[in-house]
Structure 1
Amino acid sequence: MRVLAALSGGVDSAVAAARAVDAGHEVVGVHMALSRNRAQMRTGSRGCCSIEDAGDARRAADVLGIPYYVWDLSERFEDTVIADFLSEYEAGRTPNPCVRCNEHIKFDALLDKALALGFDAVCTGHYARAGLDDDGLPLLRRSVDPAKDQSYVLAVMGPRRLARAMFPLGDVPSKEQVRAEAAARGLSVSAKPDSYDICFVADGDTQGFLRDRLGSRPGEIVTADGTVLGEHDGAYGFTVGQRKGLNLGRPAPDGRPRYVLSIEPVQNRVVVGSAADLTVGAVDGEDAVWFVPAPEDWIDCSLQVRAHGGAVPVRARTTAGGGLRIEVDDDRLRGVAPGQSAVLYRGDRVLGQATVSAAHPAAARTA
């Protein structure tokens, strides 16, 4: 097959490309330029896709003996991923930019361009497993290494795009083995630190980034009954479940910490309450994507709502208009915010994904 290998400049994508070469594919490497300011440098490894990463990707391609190109997708990235990030926070929701990058950039813009150029698949360094089930349907599964599993942020791609994706690292038992393999292949990125946090927020100050883009918007911090406890400089700077940084002038009556329960963008208010108030009994989702036939009746499965969070047992079914209803029978699910990605699993297999549109407190759970 003709395979386009996405080279981020990190060790994972380099080893994934090397494995694609070993498998006998005709591999071409491409680095995605996602920043409009390509002269921007970074220190450490907080983000990714910097000009330094482009250089590391080129050196990896040279070692592997494959052609290498840089594709400028910065305008698409700004207009989709960053614009979505800002508008979601402005609307009181909590987006996951990695999910949106996979949806709009890596397995949309990049994949579509690759197919138009005659490539058969896109290869990335994600930790997940792709294949076909017994019925011939595209199958997305967790990686062998649960600590590195990235199936959560990949679920949004859907079965059509999954059929054109390769994840050679899905069966690797540990990141240490990937680094050892890179060193054995003579790849200089073998000891390069992992990237983390949000790639376009290079200094890690998400609230500062939002404040610079959205400006100061003072409002009130209130309890569920409307009692004013304090003020904020922008409701967009808070997320459901947040405890630190509330700067409230008085403690709760019971002396326990307060947490953000919801953000009300129209009123520009942040609602706070107790930890118990964060317990979720049901979740509604929108824009559902399925890797199995969409279940009209209730199915038993498990739910994950954070990239590095655990899964909890739930039951789920589709609703009108491509929606999803999820119900939780115990009190293990807490702090779910609109905008988060809700991914359903059975065992290690991804069943489907939706964007959370509402989370309902356990106190309102129906029998």
Structure 2
Amino acid sequence: MKNKRVLVAMSGGVDSSVAAAILNEAGYEVIGATMKVWPKELCGKEKEKACCSLKDIEDARKVSRVLGIKHYVLNLEADFQKNVIDYFVKEYLAGKTPNPCIVCNEKIKFGSLLKKAIGLGCNFIATGHYARIEMEPTRANARGSLGGILSPPLVSVAGECINGSYGLRESVDKAKDQSYVLFCLKQSQLKKILFPIGNFTKDDIRRKAKELELNIYDKPDSQEICFVPDNNYSDFIKKYRNIKPQKGNIIDRSGKALGNHMGFWNFTIGQRRGLGIAAKEPLYVTEIRPKHNIIVVGAAEDVKKKRFLVKKINWLAKDTEKEKDLEVKIRYNHKKAWAYVKDLGGNIAEVDFKEPQSAITPGQAAVFYDGEYVSGGGWIDKILS
């Protein structure tokens, strides 16, 4: 890929490191970049596990030296605060459960960072996401070989789409697939993105990193939201907005008071732990009423719903029928389930699952799949039944 320059977002982890190595071996001119998005002193108790820690930056630098590529640290704190942190806090204070990783992908990695890449004269941006971008939905995409990649099966030689449209497909490694958090990408972004590791398993990637003698070959994967590494969302929100505890009621479906809580933002749909209620049967959060600071609880069956509205739809497959049976995921680790999806127009869709699903949560994403391909997706807005 002579004269094709690519900026690789390097987190200091094994996936993005091997992504850079694959492209380097394929002949791209690779530039490594680590984003600095949030001051670690604001990341709670587990500061060293936070995003863009000094350890992660140094790991990315070491890998870049081994690969013989340039490496930069880019400060995107202002963009990250505006587009991700403020959104995250606002959604929780509206009684919803946000997914900041999706917004970060759309606005930061493939927004602000992509602009930086273009400014550096790059043709593409690449990340260590487990997903695949294909030029034709019917195109066969066999597993690659890490032994000698000549060109990732992602773009044509000219770097332009053959039929004018790109498809987003699940990765080969279904356990690691990240297509769910990428549904928001537009065609204008997809044509500039490379996902070099989408054709490989996690074991493949760690094996390749070890063969290259990269020091991060056995580095653990990050598990929590990068700017809340201690997983204490409530504490983060209270400190960020300087919010004082607000006593409210926990009630059942009939309106009977069962207990108290100290802020509705501490809860999410389907939550069982931390309710502080003694009951004969397990109780779960079934509804959050932020306006009145009320939490509604019920039995496990009460958390199961079928119909809901999805807003801000992004259709990747432009030829998707207005009404169609598709498989739908309602959170990252949710197993896809069949549903009837009806496009209502105005970037709104109604989803009706064939079978009730547990904890359909406003604020989370609903992503539609046609086989392995992402047809589209949007944000869960309102539960209907």
Q: TM-score range by the shorter chain?
A: over 0.9
Instruction: Please tell me whether the aligned partners of residues 48 and 195 of structure 1 are also in contact (alpha carbons under 8 angstroms).
Output: no
**Structural mapping, 1:136-215, within 5 Å:** 136-172=164-200, 174-213=201-240, 214-215=243-244
Q: CA deviation at 1:46?
A: 4.5
**Contact 1:42-1:50 within 8 A present in 2 as well:** no
Hey, what does 2:291 align to over in structure 1? 266
User: 2:292 aligns to what SS in structure 1?
Assistant: coil
Query: C-alpha offsets along residues 49-80 of structure 1, whole Å, 9 cap, x if unaligned?
Result: 21210111111111111111110001111121
Structure 1, residues 106-165: CA drift from partner, whole Å, max 9, x if none?
Answer: 011111221233211111000001111154421111110111000001111222211111
1:240-291 Cα offsets, whole Å, 9 max, x none, are 000111001x42xxx3211101111101111111111111111211111011
Contact map agreement 1:39 1:51 (CA 8 A) in 2: no
Q: Secondary structure at the match of 1:329?
A: strand
Instruction: Specify the alignment match of 1:365 in structure 2.
Output: none
Structure 2 counterpart SS, 1:156: coil
Which residue number in structure 2 is paired with residue 358 of structure 1? 382
Q: Distance in 2 between matches of 1:225 and 1:217?
A: 23
Cα displacement (A) at 1:208: 2.3
Secondary structure of the structure 1 residue equivalent to 2:8: strand
Alpha-carbon RMSD? 1.9
Call closer, same or farther: CA 1:87–1:360 in 2, change over 3 Å. Answer: same
Q: What's the secondary structure of 2:317's corresponding residue?
A: coil
Residues 170-226 of structure 1, C-alpha deviations (whole Å, 9 max, x = no match): 011x21221111011121111111111111112222232233333312111111222
Describe the superposition over 1:62-109 as per-residue Cα deviations: whole angstroms up to 9, x where unpaired: 111111111000111112111111110000000011111111110111
**Structure 1 regions of 5+ residues with no counterpart?**
362-367
Which residue of structure 1 aligns with residue 52 of structure 2? 49
Question: How far apart are 1:48 and its partner, in Å?
Answer: 3.1
Task: Name the CA distance, whole Å, in 1 between partners of 2:40 and 2:48.
Answer: 18
- In 2: Cα distance, 1:244 partner to 1:232 partner: 13
Match of 1:304 in 2: 329
| Runs of 5+ consecutive residues of structure 2 not aligned to the other structure | 139-162
Amino acid at match of 2:63: A
Cα gap change, 1:352/1:40 in structure 2, threshold over 3 Å: closer, same or farther?
closer
2:251 aligned with 1:226, yes or no? no
Kept after mapping to 1: 8 A contact 2:366/2:379: yes
CA distance in 2: counterparts of 1:38 and 1:54, whole angstroms: 16
**TM, length-normalised to structure 2:** 0.88
Which residue does 1:34 correspond to in 2?
37
Counterpart in 1 of 2:364? 340
2:156 alignment partner in structure 1: none
Going from structure 1 to structure 2, the CA distance change for 1:56 and 1:39 (only over 3 Å counts) comes to: farther
- Matched with 1:247 is 276
How far 1:41 sits from its partner (Å)? 11
User: 3-state DSSP class of the match of 2:184?
Assistant: helix
Q: Which amino acid aligns with 1:290?
A: W
Say if 1:291 and 1:350, in contact at 8 Å, map to a contact too. yes
Matches within 5 A, 1:37-186: 37=40, 46-133=49-136, 135-172=163-200, 174-186=201-213
Distance 1:45 1:276, change over 3 A: farther
Aligned residue pair count: 355
The 8 Å contact of residues 141 and 348 in structure 1, kept in 2 or not, is answered as: yes
DSSP 3-state at the match of 2:268 = coil
